[in-house]
Structure 1
Amino acid sequence: MSKRRMFGRDPEVHEHDLGLSHDMKTMSRRGALALFGAAGATAALAACGSPSSTSTTASSSATAGAGTATSTADAVGECVAAAPGETAGPYPGDGSNGPNVLVESGIVRKDITSSFGTSTGTAEGVPVTITMALQDLTKNCDPGAGMAVYLWHCDRDGEYSLYGKAITDQNYLRGVQVAGADGTVSFTSIFPAAYSGRWPHIHFEVYDSLEVAIAGENARLTSQIALPQEACDTVFAGAEGYEKSVTNMTRTTLSSDNVFGDGWDAELATATGSVSSGYDIAITIGVAAKSENAQAAPPAGGGGPGGAGGPGGEPPAMP
C-alpha cells in the first residue's frame, strides 16, 4: 500500500487500536513477517536461532532483541527477523505529508546535525552515531548492499524540522545514506527527545537504491527504531536541554507506546557511550519484500487527501 494512504488515520495511532476484526488481520501480517524472517534464516544458515521473545521491561530489552547488534561485524553475521512496517508519522518530509526533502540537493549526507541548502541551523544535543546493518531477507539474509536509507528524528525539544513552529525553515536531522558492500549505513546526529505520548524513537525508510530514494517515493520498508531505556534515562537526566524528556519518560513505556507496544524485538537498538563522549546506537534491520511490509488500510472517514494530516492538508498538531 502506498504510504500516502497512511495519513488517512491518526498517523501515530497504531493498528492494535482499531478493533478485534482489524487485529485478526494485523496478526496475520505480523505473523507472516516473522515467518518470512525465519524462513530466510533457515535457507541461509542452518544453525541460525529464532529471535528473542519480547522482554517484559524496557530496561531488560536494552541489551537483548532480535534486531539489535553490538557491532557492525556481528550485525551482518546472523539472520534476523523482518522489521515490521510502521507509520511514518505526521512529519516524514518525504512528500507524503507536505515538504519533500528527498528531492533536495544535499540530502545524501552522513552528518545530519546541521541543515543544508539555504538553511543554516544546527541541532543541539548529545552527539550520537547511528549505525544500521541491513539484511535483504529476499536474498538469504545477504547484506543489503546498494540499499538507501532515509533517516529522520526529532530534536532535543521534541520538534521535527520542516514542521515545528520555530523550525519550519530548517531541515536538520534528516539525511540519506547508501549501504556499502557490508550492508551498513551510518549517520552522525544527536540523541532525540522523548516527547509526550511516544517512546524515544528514530524513523527510517529503506529504498532499493539511491535513485529510487531521491525520487521521493516507493519505499520498500517504512519503520521505526526504539531507543533503550538505560541510555535514554542517562541522557535525559544528565544533559542540558532534555528536561521535558525526563517528565515524558515517566508517562510512557515500551509496552504502552502506540507503535512499539505490540512487540519491539526487531526494532530495539543498542546504545553504548556516555553523555560526555556521545553514544553509538546500533541495530540490524531485516528487510523483507515490499509486499510483506505493507501498512493496513486506514479506517473509513478519517482524513484523506487534502484533509487534516493527509497529503496536501495541514500537518496535525504535535502528538
Structure 2
Amino acid sequence: MDKPEHGGGTDRSREYQDGRTHGHGLAEDLGAIGSRLFARRRALAFLATAGTTAALAACGGDDGGTANAAGSGTDTGLTSTTSSTSTSSSSSSSSGGTAAETCVADPSETNGPYPADGTNTASGATSNVLTQSGIVRSDIRSSFIGSTTTAVGVPLALELQLVDVSNGCAPITGAAIYIWQCDAYGRYSLYSSGVTTESYLRGVQVTDANGLVSFTTIYPACYSGRWPHIHFEVFTGGLSAASTGRTASLISQLAMPAATNAAVFTGDATYTASIANYNAISLSSDNVFGDNSSAQLAQMTPTLTGSVSAGYSGSALIGIAT
C-alpha cells in the first residue's frame, strides 16, 4: 500500500519554476517516436562515464543537505574503498522480449515528495515535466529544460518489462513508463538545493511489442532514511494518458540490490555520503519496502551485472493487472 517517504534532505520550497510556457510535452513527442516504438534495441550499450568523482557542473559539489545519517548502522558495515566489483542479484524479471514465466503484481507505493508529475506544489507552483517537450527519452542523464548539465555517477543501463499478471504474464504493449531518481549526492532535480534549475534523471519511454523499455541513467545514491531506489509510474493508456501522475495505472519503486549498493558506495568517491546512510538502513526498516512480501521484493529488485569502473546493466519485471 501507499506509504509516506522521507525526502532526500532537501528544501521543497525551492521547486523549479521559471514561468516558461510549456510545450505540448508528450503529445508533441508522440509523433516523433511513433514510427520507431517497436524497433527499439533490446539493450543499451554502455559508454564509460568520465569524471565520476567530479561535482555536477553548475552545482559546485553542493550535497544539497544529504548529510550522513547518525547511528551505528546495520550489518552492511560499509567502509570506503576504491575497488571495482562485479555483482549480481536475484530477481524474477525476464529479458529478451519473451513472456515472463512467473510474475506478481507490483505493490502501489508513494511517489514521494519529488515526482515532478503535476501532483504536488512548492512555493505555490506545480512542477510537471510530463508536459514538457523532450521528456520522452531513453538516456536521462542530462537536463533537458533550460540546461544540458549531465549527472555524474556510475553508469546504469536498465531494461524494464511490463507484464499483465491477469493474463499469464503476457507483455503489455504501448504503455508509457516514467522513471525518476536522485543523483549521486542524493538530490532530486527541480527540487533539491543546488539543482532546482536542473531536470536530469527523469524520462519517459513507451513499451514495445515485447513490453520492454530501456533507460540509460546512473546508480542512485542512498540518502538518509531510505533504501536506494528508483521511482516509476505506469500509464497503460500510453503517452496520451501520461500528462499527470494522477492518471497513472501504477506508482511504485525499484529496490536497488544490496551487493551492488555496497560495491558502488564504497568503490566510487562520488557516493561517499551514501556510506553512513546505507549503514543506517535495511530493507526491513525502510518505510516503503519494509512491508512487502519476499516475492514482491524479488521482482522489485533489478538483476544487475557489471562493475563500478565499467558500469552496470540489468533488468527488472513490472507486473500489473489489467
Structure with the larger helix share: 1
After superposition, what is the alpha-carbon deviation per residue over 1:241-291, rounded to whole angstroms, capped at 9, x for unaligned?
1001111111001111111111223311111100111101311111124xx
| 1:277 counterpart residue number | 310
Matched, 1:213 2:242: yes
Amino acid at match of 2:177: V
1:21-36 map, 5 Å: none
| 2:200 counterpart residue number | 172
1:117, 1:158 → 2: CA distance? 20
Q: Post-superposition shift, 1:236?
A: 0.7
**Aligned partners of 1:112 and 1:173 also within 8 Å:** yes
2:6, 2:145 → 1: CA distance? 30
1:1-319 map, 5 Å: 10-12=4-6, 63-65=89-91, 68-69=92-93, 72-73=95-96, 76-98=99-121, 99-208=127-236, 209-214=238-243, 217-263=246-292, 264-289=297-322
2:4, 2:211 → 1: CA distance? 33
RMSD: 2.2
Question: What count of residue pairs does the alignment treat as equivalent?
Answer: 234
Consecutive unaligned residues of structure 1, counting only runs of 5 or more, are: 14-56, 290-319
2:167, 2:221 → 1: CA distance? 36
Corresponding residue SS for 1:72: coil
2:252, 2:173 → 1: CA distance? 19
Q: Higher mean Cα deviation, 280-289 or 181-190? A: 280-289
**Aligned partners of 1:130 and 1:187 also within 8 Å:** yes
Q: Post-superposition shift, 1:64?
A: 2.8
Q: Post-superposition shift, 1:216?
A: 5.2
Counterparts in 2 of 1:118 and 1:11: CA distance versus 1, 3 Å: same
| 1:306 counterpart residue number | none
**Aligned partners of 1:150 and 1:205 also within 8 Å:** yes
Q: Post-superposition shift, 1:178?
A: 0.3
Corresponding residue SS for 1:95: strand
Q: Give the TM-score taking structure 2 as reference length.
A: 0.68
Q: Higher mean Cα deviation, 260-269 or 182-191? A: 260-269
Amino acid at match of 1:257: D
Q: Higher mean Cα deviation, 74-83 or 177-186? A: 74-83
**Aligned partners of 2:257 and 2:302 also within 8 Å:** yes
Corresponding residue SS for 2:305: strand
